Structure 1
Amino acid sequence: MTVTLPFAEWSSYAADHSARVDALVVGHLDRQKRREAHPVEDFLFTYYSVRPNQLRVWHPGPGVRLLDAAPYGERRGYVVVDGTASLDPLEVVRRADSITWIRGLLGSTLDRQPQFGCFGLHEWAMVYRTSDVRHQKWPLRLGAEGTDQVVESHKIACSHFDAFRFFTTPARPLNVLQPTRESQPALEQGGCLHANMDLYKWATKLMPFTPSSLVLECFELARDIRTLDMRASPYDLSPLGYAPVQIETPDGKAEYTAAQRAFADRARPLRRQLVAVCDQLLG
């Protein structure tokens, strides 16, 4: 079924969306002007490829036509006929392989039992036995030796390739899995913080087909997960107001696992909605 929105209705949705994005990105843009970096809040703009101005563009999603929407003719993925804009079916055909791969990854993750025993040790494995740490401005909370001891005294069980690929060379053999890009659909699971952060990546990879409301829900989830990710990391970010989750202690492990489960619960319906978008496009 196709829904047709008059200009007054869809332009209101678009304006509300832009205002919501502006509130989400204002801190990042202000820091850019001052040439300052933030190890937590800038991640979604530096690791992921979507810029704030791209995020501000409102997309209605599949099955929606916009009346009096001639400017959408200049946007990739749309076709405009007599002023009425809709998603371009030829763009879906061109991107069918990518949509199919994303759908397969998201669907297999939905079907897999979540795991909650990693305790965020991927960030620790990224600084194991090295002085070349990513966030040079921020000290290691336990120092280099204490950080290495935490890694060596735990089972490292990272299932996410895009986290594992940043492990130091000495840390990689310590991981019980050896993820690759090819094995990603077979290993990704819904308890993983990075897999759930990446819902934002897949939502944006599917733009303009993804409804913008879903994109921003994924953004907000990724932002909140990133906060836990860095609070549980070996870095001391307390001067920025981030109390550490001390995963090297029993209480810290319990705190991390409880938050991890809550994020998995938030991620599941978003992942299901992205699968539905893919199915609608491919069907």
Structure 2
Amino acid sequence: MNEALKELLDVLDLEQIELDIFRGRSPDEHIQRVFGGQVAAQALVAAGRTVQDDRRVHSLHAYFIRPGDPAIPIVYNVERVRDGRSFTTRRVVAIQHGKAIFTMSASFHIEEPGLEHQAAVMPQAAAPEDIAPFHERVREAAGAAGQESPWREWLARQRPLDARYATPVPLEALHDPSLSRPTTNVWFRYEAELPDDPLLHVVLAAYASDFTLVDTVLLAHGQAWGTPNVAGASLDHAMWFHRPFRVDDWMLYAQESPWSGTARGLARGEMFTRSGELAVSVVQEALIRVSQL
């Protein structure tokens, strides 16, 4: 287990300070605001700690309201909206400086039989073992694109998860515009033998879901984060969890951007197990502003 993953697991271990009130911290961060995937993951931990063990997360819907400050704790207030026979609903508000920075509704469902089908097909992609890790690809691409420290170092630093692009990395498209496309396929896994706790695997999938999704919008236009003319932030995020999965096994995150305009971009993704089973569906809209240099 690398140090970044150890720190992430520690960050996700929230402190309970009162009934249905939790406090979380952020890793030391000097380049950007609090990572959206971290806030979503922590909010899901807070919600899950108020739910019966026989219920599993099946969906979440979230809004990013204000940028998070990594220098101070985040307080998560959980509202017990519903405790039904089959479904449980929780609403979570993340607060900093006395204001909401994030809201999320999450729904939990007991396991029960039903109609089953899968129309989604996992894209063809090179095996993750045959692809260079993200940090190696981005370090080389940042150098070719002329990106200097501290952004180059931040983009290429160690991450909690091992991500491997089976398609171009956005920074590569800056150097070669012919690589621009509105689709991205990324293998990812957490390099550790994780506990069998289903909530933990869902929480870590939520964290990973925000790592590369909006990149797909930028890749369609030959743009990338870390360049001085690109600024943006996640606006909202939705996920549906279809079946059990493990994030310490390789999963393919197939992503596409069907539209962008009016300073916003839409991206959607599907997470497949290595055997091709659809495990998670994701949709996100982001604010993206690109200025002329």
Normalized per residue, the structure richer in strand is 2
Larger radius of gyration: 1
TM surpasses 0.5 = no
TM-score normalized with structure 1 length:
0.33
Greater relative CO (CA pairs within 8 A, separation 6+): 1
**Higher relative helix content:** 1
